[in-house]
Amino acid sequence: LVENMTATYVLTESFRQQEGRVFAGILNRARRGRATPDDLAWLQANAAQELPANPLLMYCRTNEVDEMNEEKMEDIPHPTVAYASHDEGILSCAARVESSAPRLLKLKKSARVMLTRNLHHDIGLHNGSLGVAEELNGETVKVRFDNGQTVDIHQVPYEVRDDTVTKHGDPAVVFSRQQFPLKVAFAVSVHTAQGATVDSLVVDLTNAFCPGQAYVALS
């Protein structure tokens, strides 16, 4: 047994875009800032000619996202239900979970929502799964997901750990928030959608403002 031994592994194969080698090549060039006119032509030629029903809209700036979500929510003729989180620990750490688990989550029946945590892998519910809020109860939110599953969602913990504070050798939890792993998702920002897997998406790169943002959106 060799203790304290580290090894470096370089991952060279993309599995996420495994079924589209041409697209994977375009992503790799975009990531390095070497996209070509042919790459742009391929993206334009392969963009959907007809939008799917209720596609997720992705914008580069959060104010665009907020405006679209507020506009869509105002169009829903149901009352707003607000769910306050339950917080414990160092409250100054709350900002580190706010984007995924807001202090006050406001939903409406019929609103488009997105999961912000991986749940129920066995039935295909993961971070980024989209659906419609069907029932808003005190302890649960019933969501009909686009993959055909209808599930009662409960609050889950979002934790902040501090490497400088240890418990039994592991980083200690210094803040914990209980909140529903959902967010209103008629639209999302490129940043907050990182790591999500979605089935249909409309990307607006008009206001891209930093290197790599287009790559993240496309991937």
pTM to 2 decimal places:
0.77
> What is residue 4's predicted lDDT score, i.e. its pLDDT?
56
For 15-48, write each residue's pLDDT tens digit. Answer: 655 557 888 899 889 888 899 999 999 998 988 8
The helix/strand/coil state of 155 is coil
Residue 166: which residues within 8 A CB-CB, separation 6 or more? 172
109, pLDDT greater than 60:
yes
> What is residue 14's predicted lDDT score, i.e. its pLDDT?
62
Token pair 């769910």 in the structure block, residue:
83
For 4-13, write each residue's pLDDT tens digit. Answer: 567 888 887 7
For 179-199, write each residue's pLDDT tens digit. Answer: 999 999 999 999 888 877 777
> What is residue 51's predicted lDDT score, i.e. its pLDDT?
77
What one-character DSSP code corresponds to residue 149? Answer: -
Alpha carbon of 113 to those of 31, 32, 87, 122, 172: distances in Å? 29, 33, 23, 20, 32
CA distance 162 to 171: 5
